[in-house]
Amino acid sequence: MYVAGKCRCDECREANRIGHAVGEKLKREGRSMFVAAEPVRKRWMYLRGRGMSNDEIERAAGLDDKVSHDLLIGHWRTGKPLTRINRFTAEKIMALNHRSLLRGTCIKAPDLREMTIDLMSLGYSGAWIADQLGMSYQGQAPLLRHTVRAGTYAKMLELHGSTIEQQTAATREQESSITRSKNTANRLRCESNGSVVIDVKALRRVMNNSGVTDKEFQEAHGFATGHLAHIMERGSCRAITADRIASALGVEADLLLVQS
């Protein structure tokens, strides 16, 4: 049996034969091949309301990419949304669980970057954080943005909210890793507010080589009393201030900054 306008290749004929057989079986059981579309449409909109796109729903259910159009906008033949839908298509859609599916959906997470920096400031490396979240080392970069997969965000909330103490070092290598993580955290925080991280040892060395005291330098170049001491204590300052200090000392600004 052929349907006008349908493909007649071997694969399609076999699919039509199976579909026809299933339809006949349902008829004998007093059931229809089609069910009301309204409950399915409501389920679809429920999933949309939980952050899933039409494409994601179709992929998750293994459906054709025109199902959403037929269900929500209108079928090409009638121009109206479906009133009935294939029973098996309906079952696939109704079986979708948004909680498990949403774990792969990207969401906005404005506090994600700050949580990552908080952990780094305790001495935990980006590689360790990524590993705890089930990500690759290269995958840590998204943690410094404001969007992430929902599943990853849920893990980060749990990790950040748990009691994590200051990282301690048992070896010189671990101590270096902790220092790098803390320096990275400081640099990232500074980038957020337009500041830069000062290499305090380098600044002190250049100051000593200049042959002038902090007080003399501050008076000669218009800095407030105690400004240099404050910068060295904090380990950071505004980028424009770092440029002024470097210019006054006759060195490149990069020489005074912690290099990532």
User: Of all residues in the chain, what percent carry a pLDDT higher than 90?
Assistant: 5
Residue 192 confidence (pLDDT):
66
Residue 167 confidence (pLDDT):
75
Q: Is the pLDDT of residue 139 over 90?
A: no
| Both structure tokens of 141 | 């970069």
Residue 102 confidence (pLDDT):
59
Residue 103 confidence (pLDDT):
60
With 0.75 as the threshold, say if the pTM is over it: no
How does residue 41 score in pLDDT terms, banded at 50, 70 and 90? very high
pLDDT digits (tens, 9 = 90+) for 48-58: 877 677 887 88
pLDDT digits (tens, 9 = 90+) for 176-230: 888 888 888 877 777 666 677 788 888 888 888 888 888 888 888 888 888 888 8
How does residue 40 score in pLDDT terms, banded at 50, 70 and 90? very high
Q: Is the pLDDT of residue 117 over 90?
A: no
Residue 28 confidence (pLDDT):
74
Which of the listed ranges 80-94, 135-149, 193-207, 237-251 does the model predict with the highest average pLDDT? 80-94
Name the residue with higher pLDDT: 255 or 97: 255
Q: Is the pLDDT of residue 36 over 50?
A: yes
Residue 138 confidence (pLDDT):
56
| Both structure tokens of 50 | 């939980």
How does residue 149 score in pLDDT terms, banded at 50, 70 and 90? confident
Separation between Cα atoms, residue 144 and residue 156, nearest integer Å: 12
CATH number belonging to domain 194-256: 1.10.260
Residue 75 confidence (pLDDT):
87
Name the residue with higher pLDDT: 236 or 75: 75
Is the separation of the CB atoms in 148 and 103 below 8 Å? Answer: no
Residue 39 confidence (pLDDT):
93
149, β-bridge pairs: 106
Listed in sequence order, the residues at least 6 apart from 244 whose beta carbon sits closer than 8 Å to its beta carbon are 221
Residue 151 CA: distances (Å) to CA of 60, 61, 109, 186: 16, 19, 12, 27
Say how many Å lie between the first and final Cα of the chain, rounded: 71
Mean pLDDT score, 126-136: 80
Residue spans of the domains in the chain: they are: 32-102, 106-191, 194-256
Residue 235 confidence (pLDDT):
78
Residue 189 CA: distances (Å) to CA of 68, 115, 167, 242: 44, 11, 19, 16
